[in-house]
Amino acid sequence: MLVYNSFEHYKASGPAVVTIGTFDGVHLGHRALLKRVSDLAARQGGKSVVLTFDPHPRMVLHPDDHGIKLLNTRAEKEELLRHCGIDVLLRVPFSEAFSRMSPAEYVRDIIVNQIGTTTLVVGFDHRFGRNREGDIRLLHELSGLYGYTGEEIPPEMVASHKISSTKIRQALSAGEVDLAGQLLGYRYGLTGTVVSGDGRGRSIGYPTANLGIDDRDKLVPGRGVYAVWVHAGAAWHHGVMNIGIRPTVGQDLKESLEVHIPGLDRDIYGQNLRVTFAVKIRDEHKFGSIDALRLRIAEDIKTAHAYFQTHP
């Protein structure tokens, strides 16, 4: 997959089957659209092209209160798109000036003149141009003038849920990591560096690695205790992660991400970890004593172990 971070070095050559969007999550709905783009490009002997924006438009248009956390880092999204068989990724800087283009200007200047689109495939709710005024109807109206064809893909459903990035964010924020995984088509994960903690976990018999997330815009699932897979070094391990403020022992009420990896006794401070979420075990809870907390952690580990026995 060829990756361009602007239009400067991109040159259209041959038929270009194009789709447009933020593609946060590259979920099952996105993948249905991307497969259609790839299939049409192969049929036409052209290139499959994804036009996406960085940063996310809401972060530019509402810098102080956009309220959005992302499902993918830039590298994660790029890798997912690569696995979808896309030929060209156009990652264009989004700006306020860009957002002020009228829908007709957007089609003429970007879709046609910059990319050389012959076929445009969009999702069922795609909007574009100033104030999101452009839609599939306008794309069809302008297609005759500019010589491209337009196509809209219907929504994908999983277990009665219409798949969308918003729905997945809601599921993760509620701790429903299993549902999020179903909608994504893969298990949700976080990557970060093991940072220093207060050693409280070790003092009660369950040492934890404190994870500092690499990307501040990455969505962290809601507070609670989760069964997780952990990639440390060159191996995968089963683990139990707590996300929260540690109300039984914490004092500063600062949210932390701590993962206990049973059987791992070597020092991993400073290492990069990949944590992939399996299922939520329970909500965060304040216990009456350290002994009660210790007993519950033991139960959490047993619950996680039982899950992994049936979900290798």
CATH number at 88 reads 3.40.50.620
Cβ-contact 222, 243 below 8 angstroms: yes
Note the pTM of the prediction, 2 decimals: 0.92
Q: How far apart are CA 199 and CA 84, in angstroms?
A: 43
Determine the Cα–Cα distance for residues 256 and 220; give it in Å rounded to an integer. 10
Domain that holds residue 272: 187-310
In a domain, 20, yes or no: yes
Q: Provide mean pLDDT across the span 107-113.
A: 95
CA dist., res. 25 & res. 93, Å (int)? 19
Residue closest to 307 by CA, chosen among 289, 280, 287, 272: 280
Do 246 and 153 belong together in one domain?
Answer: no
Fill in the amino acid letter for 278.
A
What average pLDDT score do residues 122-130 get?
91
Q: Which residues of 216-244 are buried (b: 16+ CB within 10 A; e: fewer)?
A: eebbebbebbbbbbbebeeeebbbbbbbb
126 and 202 inside one domain:
no
Instruction: Name the 3-class secondary structure at 291.
Output: helix
What CATH number does residue 221 fall under? 2.40.30.30
Q: What is the pLDDT of residues 13-54, one digit of tens each?
A: 889 999 999 999 999 999 999 999 999 999 999 999 999 998
| Both structure tokens of 173 | 């924020």
Count of domains in the chain?
2
Q: Is residue 18 a part of any domain in this protein?
A: yes
Nearest-CA neighbor of 259 among 83, 271, 94?
271
Domain end, chosen from 113, 145, 162, is at 162
Residues 143 and 208 in one domain: no
**How does residue 248 score in pLDDT terms, banded at 50, 70 and 90?**
low
- The model's pLDDT over 196-223, given as tens digits with 9 standing for 90+, comes to 776 666 667 788 899 999 898 999 999 9
Do 78 and 204 fall into the same domain? no
Interval 181-188 mean pLDDT: 97
Banded model confidence at residue 67, pLDDT cuts 50, 70, 90: confident
Helix (H, G, I), strand (E, B) or coil at 129: coil
Mean pLDDT score, 302-307: 96
Domain-terminating residue out of 119, 145, 162: 162
Q: Is 241 within 8 Å of 208 (Cβ atoms)?
A: no
